[in-house]
Amino acid sequence: MTFNELARKRYSCRKLATKPVEQEKLDAVIEAGILAPTAVNKQPFRIWVAKSPDALKAIHDVTPFTFGAGVFLIVGAKREEAWVRPADKANFADVDATIVATHMMLAIEDQGLATTWVGHFDAPKLQELIPELAGYDLVAIFPVGYADSAAKPSPLHAIRKSVSELVATI
Ligand SMILES: Cc1cc2nc3c(=O)[nH]c(=O)nc-3n(C[C@H](O)[C@H](O)[C@H](O)COP(=O)(O)O)c2cc1C
């Protein structure tokens, strides 16, 4: 499969099967995240594998977007560890963690698994429930699993703006 075939195949899967995810597959997804580039190679991110009953309950308490997953990957950015661009003091922590998360999202697809990037959750509450997450910008929660046989892309999946709207040659 070419990279664009993989990118085209991926969609936000909102119905996951009960089949458990093998540890080797999670390891491959995590490796893809760690292989991501970061500004000045600062690697100002953390990945948490949430699968304990307490962690699963906490995630269910802070978002409805759980889709039947038995395991979740959470990605966070540590601002204090990131490169800061001198010209405008822009902190690259969230940029770096988002690249990591994007690698992971596509690796999940590459492993034959399915997910949705979940950004809609109560981050402060999650950090209260799981204190280890405090001090990080939480950029993504990935519910991870096998796509249910009834899963299908939402209508939004098919909608992309045109090249002429999105790309300019200057
Ligand atoms: C940063 C980010 C945050 C998102 N947050 C959520 C979310 O909280 N819940 C959800 O159901 N989908 C979420 N999505 C999925 C988007 O709605 C989805 O990617 C978009 O509609 C395009 O559909 P597709 O992924 O199937 O191509 C998020 C996607 C991104 C990139």
Query: What are the tens digits of pLDDT across the range 118-169?
Result: 999 999 999 999 999 999 999 999 999 999 999 999 999 999 999 999 999 9
Contacts with 158 (C-beta within 8 Å, 6 or more apart), sequence order: none
Which pLDDT band holds residue 102 (cuts at 50, 70, 90)?
A: very high
Q: What is the pLDDT of residue 59?
A: 98
Distance from Cα 140 to the centre of ligand 1, integer Å: 10
CA distance 153 to 23: 26
Question: pTM here?
Answer: 0.98
User: Does the C-beta of 123 come closer than 6 Å to ligand 1?
Assistant: no
The amino acid at 19: K
Confidence of residue 13 (pLDDT cuts 50, 70, 90): very high
- What local confidence, expressed as pLDDT, does residue 123 receive? 98
Q: Average pLDDT, stretch 67-92? A: 98
- Compute the mean pLDDT over every residue in the chain, rounded to the nearest whole number: 98
153 lines ligand 1 (CB under 6 A): yes
- Position 62 scores a pLDDT of 98
Please state the φ and ψ torsions of residue 10, each to the nearest 5 degrees.
-65, 140
- The verdict on the CB of residue 65 being under 6 Å from ligand 1 is yes
Protein residue closest via CA to atom 12 of ligand 1: 118
- Residue-wise pLDDT for 125-138, tens only, equals 999 999 999 999 99
- So what's the architecture of 13-166 in CATH? 3-Layer(aba) Sandwich (3.40)
Closest CA to 119 of 135, 134, 103, 105: 105
Q: CB of 116 closer than 6 A to ligand 1?
A: yes
pLDDT digits (tens, 9 = 90+) for 66-79: 999 999 999 999 99
